[in-house]
Amino acid sequence: MNTRTDDLPGDPMTAPAPPGASPTRAPHQDVTTGHKDAGRVGAGLFDPRQVLKSLPDAFRKLDPRVMVKSPVMFVVLVGSVLTTGFSLADPGDWFGWAISAWLWLTVVFANLAEAVAEGRGKAQADTLRKAKTDTVARRLGAEGRYEERVPGTDLRIGDLVVCEAGDIIPGDGDVVEGVASVDESAITGESAPVIRESGGDRSAVTGGTKVLSDRIVIKITTKPGETFIDRMIALVEGAARQKTPNEIALNILLASLTIVFLLAVATLQPFAAHAGADLSMVVLVALLVCLIPTTIGALLSAIGIAGMDRLVQRNVLAMSGRAVEAAGDVSTLLLDKTGTITLGNRQAAEFVPVAGTTEAEVADAAQLSSLADETPEGRSIVVLAKEEYGLRERHQGELTGADWVAFTAQTRMSGVDTDGRRIRKGATGSVLAWVLEQGGTAQPDADAAARRISEAGGTPLLVAVEDAEGARVLGVIHLKDVVKDGMRERFAELRRMGIRTVMITGDNPLTAKAIADEAGVDDFLAEATPEDKMALIKREQAGGKLVAMTGDGTNDAPALAQADVGVAMNTGTSAAKEAGNMVDLDSNPTKLIEIVEIGKQLLITRGALTTFSIANDVAKYFAIIPALFAAVYPGLDTLNIMRLSSPDSAILSAVVFNAVVIIALVPLALKGVRYRPVSADKLLRRNLGIYGLGGLIAPFIGIKVIDMIISTIPGIG
């Protein structure tokens, strides 16, 4: 959210927007293909080809050095080795072999969940690697006096390179000279070219993209091997994923539960020996594996990878899992007004005459004075005069001998001198100063109209003329910020999520308040400077809140770095992209709302499956404990409420269910639990009702069905 010209207090006019800006894509467009819905989670959940490709990785992950990172599944791996060893010692024991086989499958299924999640990222990374080519750079020598051709890998930070039409940009950098049209489809998937130019917030270029027109000089800002594409490849394939604080905390909890159950199972052997029961090591291992929270232990990593993958599908690159997780806990959202809440270009809505003039006179003068104004606002004035007042659209070439005054950010006015008249249109302060310079006087009704427009959330422009009657104001043009459709509803959803929204704008407080009221945001910060943004973020964080914001300019970099979730626009400067912990490849500021929803979905999915995992252990107690001790303590048979056919069948059914439920829940872990914007207490009740109660009931049904199948096998039932 850089401080734009059109957001400056009292400055209603803008420099022309760069043409060819990349259009915003529809949601779910794949980052590497550019095709809508390509690579969506729902389209490829457990695609057989993806599963087959991921199987080798699942077996490679059986390496104990890899498995030890997941304490729960490491215990299952050790148990698998132990039961296999005891089965080898007694080859005729079918029960030991069956338990061993299903324990190995439990480990493989857990690894497969992670491998499938990583596999989709690797497919995207392969496509990105194709876009990464070895290029020859035209590096400028001392003071730009000569060029030398060097491999792109030899470029260093600070080098200046020249790129012309047809050249591949050799490295990440900022345009320091010139303007060019660039094809960034290799990065964003968007076929429409974008404009990159020096001196603004659209100066960043990415290595591997192609210059389509003109000539630019680029200052390299990254080392070889650390370019944006290199970072994207590492992130989307999961190589750079680090566990988040919540994920680490949950791992510690699961490890603690595993130790508790390990101690509990270890004490059963002497207890059983005293009671006269015979508990083999295979049975004890099966009991331990069924009691520890294997379901969430198996799916935890896949949930984290899938959360980042969902962002990638929406063309958002998260630099860390911590950022995705933080997005789910965000309580304050800072949103730029222009381009996020409003359409970005203010439109002329009406002409307000002062005493002694008519609307038609104001419209005629406004249209003439706007012919030299190429800003969107200027063009909208010409169109309004044509459509509402029947004035045909005129052009500068039609008025011979006219002197045109083009709009500039310094004068904040445009106009024309023709036929003995001097007409000016622009910001109220600039035009009024011009009138006074020509010997005219201020007009109270013009000031009243301008104030009324400002209080309504609009931006007033004055139209003035100097002719034989002297210098005077003819009227006021009402420029209106158009709030995007559906914004009020989206902010209401965020409010239900417990998120406070703050609109950031450079407009004066009156205008800012009117737009904030229309859009439905909770608060606003008017006449904002970069320092104001930083101060606001720090105040919110001091109150224990997590803050998210978007930005694209160098002056946004400090605030992006300070925010807990800083989303930099891909069209922005290198400084902004380095400071943020996410990059939106579509450069769509409203994407921040989706990012928060994805973060919350990640946290909800993790919580829901943890609840399910712990709840479904209850049924296993009723399956295994009676099977172990019913022969010694017949009274325990009353706990066999599922009426399982035999002790061996009961234990084996619990182990089989324990493995099968992992593979059954992988699609949910990858897709994520559906998020609805409701209060925390309602969300807790919903999760307990669906995943707590469901986790309690499902194993009773599943274990009973598996037992019925096993009991039909000769020699087992």
CATH number of domain containing 156: 2.70.150.10
Is a pLDDT exceeding 50 seen at residue 647?
yes
Is a pLDDT exceeding 70 seen at residue 450?
yes
Q: Among 451, 482, 513, where does a domain finish?
A: 482
Least confident of 5-9, 49-53, 236-240: 5-9
Query: What is the span of the domain harbouring residue 460?
Result: 346-482
Whole-number Å distance between alpha carbons of 117 and 427: 55
Indicate whether 280 belongs to any domain. Answer: yes
C-alpha distances in Å from residue 359, one per residue of 159, 384, 649: 58, 12, 91
Q: Which of 30-39, 46-55, 129-138 has the highest mean pLDDT?
A: 46-55
Q: Which of 172, 336, 507, 617 is catalytic?
A: 336
Q: Is 695 in a helix, a strand, or coil?
A: helix
Least confident of 421-430, 469-478, 671-680: 671-680
Least confident of 191-195, 284-288, 545-549, 706-710: 191-195
Question: In the prediction, which pLDDT does 196 show?
Answer: 85
Would you call 159 a catalytic residue per the annotation?
no
Least confident of 129-133, 444-448, 662-666: 129-133
Whole-number Å distance between alpha carbons of 199 and 573: 10
pLDDT in tens, 521-550: 999 988 888 788 888 999 999 988 889 988
Q: Find residue 179's DSSP bridge partners.
A: 197
Question: In the prediction, which pLDDT does 490 show?
Answer: 82
Q: Which of 124-138, 201-215, 617-631, 675-689 has the highest mean pLDDT?
A: 201-215
Is a pLDDT exceeding 60 seen at residue 388?
yes
Read off the pLDDT of each residue in 569-589 and give the average, rounded to a whole number. 78
Residues 490, 477, single domain; the answer is no
- Which residues are CB-contacts of 376 (< 8 A; sequence separation ≥ 6)? 14, 16, 17, 345, 346, 347
Residues 504, 605, single domain; the answer is no
Q: pLDDT band for 8, please (50, 70, 90 cuts).
A: very low
pLDDT in tens, 133-181: 667 888 887 666 667 888 877 888 888 999 988 888 888 888 988 888 8
Q: Among 438, 459, 482, where does a domain finish?
A: 482
Return the CATH number at 448: 3.40.1110.10
Residues 610, 681, single domain; the answer is yes
Is a pLDDT exceeding 60 seen at residue 69?
yes
Residue with token string 């002297």:
470
Annotated binding site: 373, 377, 407-414, 425, 552, 556
Read off the pLDDT of each residue in 549-568 and give the average, rounded to a whole number. 83
More confident residue, 43 or 706: 706
Residues 98, 154, single domain; the answer is no
Is a pLDDT exceeding 80 seen at residue 81?
yes
C-alpha distances in Å from residue 498, one per residue of 224, 486, 546, 678: 43, 19, 12, 8
| 3-class DSSP string for 21-87 | CCCCCCCCECCCCCCECCCCHHHHCCCHHHHHHHHHHHHHCCCHHHHCCCHHHHHHHHHHHHHHHHH
Is a pLDDT exceeding 60 seen at residue 17?
no
Is a pLDDT exceeding 90 seen at residue 396?
no
Residues 476, 351, single domain; the answer is yes
Q: pLDDT band for 671, please (50, 70, 90 cuts).
A: confident
Question: In the prediction, which pLDDT does 34 show?
Answer: 37
Least confident of 33-42, 172-181, 488-497: 33-42
Read off the pLDDT of each residue in 302-325 and give the average, rounded to a whole number. 80
Residues 576, 497, single domain; the answer is yes
Annotated binding site for ATP: 373, 377, 407-414, 425
Indicate whether 560 belongs to any domain. Answer: yes
Residues 452, 509, single domain; the answer is no
Q: Could you give the percent of the chain with pLDDT greater than 90?
A: 12
As a whole number, the mean pLDDT across the chain is: 79
Residues 350, 465, single domain; the answer is yes
Residues 335, 209, single domain; the answer is no
Q: Among 532, 552, 585, where does a domain finish?
A: 585
Question: In the prediction, which pLDDT does 659 show?
Answer: 92
Indicate whether 86 belongs to any domain. Answer: yes
Indicate whether 258 belongs to any domain. Answer: yes
Is a pLDDT exceeding 60 seen at residue 32?
no
Indicate whether 6 belongs to any domain. Answer: no
Is a pLDDT exceeding 90 seen at residue 583?
no
Give me the amino acid identity at 645. S
Is a pLDDT exceeding 80 seen at residue 670?
yes
* Number of domains observed in the structure of the chain: 4
Is a pLDDT exceeding 90 seen at residue 455?
no
More confident residue, 89 or 191: 89
Question: In sequence order, which ranges of 497-563 are alpha helices (DSSP H)?
Answer: 509-519, 530-542, 557-562
Length reported for the chain: 717
Indicate whether 385 belongs to any domain. Answer: yes
More confident residue, 270 or 18: 270
Is a pLDDT exceeding 80 seen at residue 398?
no
Indicate whether 129 belongs to any domain. Answer: no
Indicate whether 717 belongs to any domain. Answer: no
Read off the pLDDT of each residue in 436-442 and give the average, rounded to a whole number. 86
Residues 571, 691, single domain; the answer is no
More confident residue, 487 or 436: 436
Q: Could you give the percent of the chain with pLDDT greater than 70?
A: 82
Is a pLDDT exceeding 80 seen at residue 409?
no
Whole-number Å distance between alpha carbons of 69 and 71: 6
Q: How do beta strands 421-427 and 413-418 pair? A: antiparallel
Annotated binding site for Mg(2+): 552, 556
Residues 393, 439, single domain; the answer is yes
Residues 411, 451, single domain; the answer is yes
pLDDT in tens, 100-122: 999 999 999 998 888 887 776 66
pTM above threshold 0.85? no
